[in-house]
Amino acid sequence: MIDRMTHAPQTAQVMGLVALELAGGAPPRRAALDQDAAGALAERIARDLVGLVPQITTLELTLAAAHFDPAEALRPGWPLHRRLDELRQRAPGRDQGPRVIAFGAAADGAVPRPFQADPELVGGALRVLPFLLSGAPGDVDAVGQALEAVLIERGMAGADTALQLQDGLGARVEHVRFMTLHDLAAMMALQYQHQHLGGLWPLIETALLAPEDTQWLDAPPEPLLRYADGEVRMALLDPAAWRKRNAPATDDPQRLARGYEHYLMRQRQLAAVLEAHGIPVTHAHCPDDQDLCAHLNT
């Protein structure tokens, strides 16, 4: 997986994250740091990263001091980091060498619209703050490779960085660490595997990295899904089609009814995960077992 964003011949970027591992699952009380605190935090993050990879001094750091669910950072087109880059390009001082730029909440606590987190995605044990490292492609490549090598083992934030985030956001934090989008994707893939959602990850990964490709989840008794053209189509089976596809080892009507209800619940679960990643889900009705859902191929 590539976590570098390139949009102009002279500029490339590493997309990174500050990850907050929350204690007890309690969400932070505040959505973002205020602007002054955001600037101070960005300076500390720059110091911490330079301590890990000294050549980062050749790059520009841009931080959004607002926190998000990890799924919001892993959406097709990388919208969090692209919004951050759009603001970076409008910030003053572009010709004055590498900058440290931060975006925080307004004086009244209002969070700018580009950095308003999805209110439906709360309660998880991990929140992330996006940042960009921008510069010449050669420098970015060297820094990106170095970060991949060191962050997993030594990517903990400094104690004062972690304390500022804990106090500024009103959070109970166990750990604060730096990671690349590659690191986050690998962690999410493993987490989904542990949550019995591993079959869904190839569709998400395709949407993120190869959106022009097609990917299937075709593994009964899982629901039948197909990713193509930027969306996932999910087969809606009636009870007879579901039974034909999955061949449950029972003829008991009550057990069959429970099995079908479990299938419907599983559909809702998978759709919710995909939509959290910004992948639209549409449904294709499959009323019988004749060439089951062949129209998902079109």
Whether residue 2 has pLDDT greater than 50: no
120 shares a domain with 218: no
Of 66, 39, 45, 76, which is closest to residue 127 (Cα–Cα)?
A: 66
Our count of domains for the chain comes to 2
8 and 130, same domain (yes or no): yes
Same domain, 254 and 175: no
Average pLDDT over every residue of 229-251: 87
Whether residue 272 sits in one domain with residue 153? no
Both 110 and 171 in one domain: the answer is yes
Residue 187 domain-assigned? no
CA–CA distance, 213 with 210 (Å, rounded to integer): 6
Q: Is residue 156 part of a domain?
A: yes
Look at residues 180, 206, 229 and tell me which one is the last residue of a structural domain.
180
The pTM assigned to this predicted structure is 0.91
Distance from C-alpha of 169 to C-alpha of 30, rounded to nearest angstrom = 5
Q: Are 173 and 26 members of one domain?
A: yes
Domain boundary among 147, 180, 213: 180
In terms of domains, do 103 and 249 share one? no
User: What is the mean predicted confidence (pLDDT) over 174-201?
Assistant: 95
**Residue 298 binned pLDDT confidence (cut-offs 50, 70, 90):** low
Q: Would you say residue 14 lies in a domain? A: yes
Percent of the chain with pLDDT over 70: 93
Look over the chain and give the mean of its residue pLDDT values, rounded to a whole number. 90
- For residues 114 and 222, membership in a common domain is answered with no
33 exposed, middle or buried (CB, 10 Å; 0-12, 13-18, 19+)? buried
Rounded to 10°, the helix 137-154/181-194 angle is: 40
Mean pLDDT, range 124-152, rounded to an integer:
93
Residue 228's domain comprises 198-297
For the ranges 73-77, 198-202, 212-216, 240-244, the lowest mean pLDDT is seen at: 240-244
For residues 244 and 121, membership in a common domain is answered with no
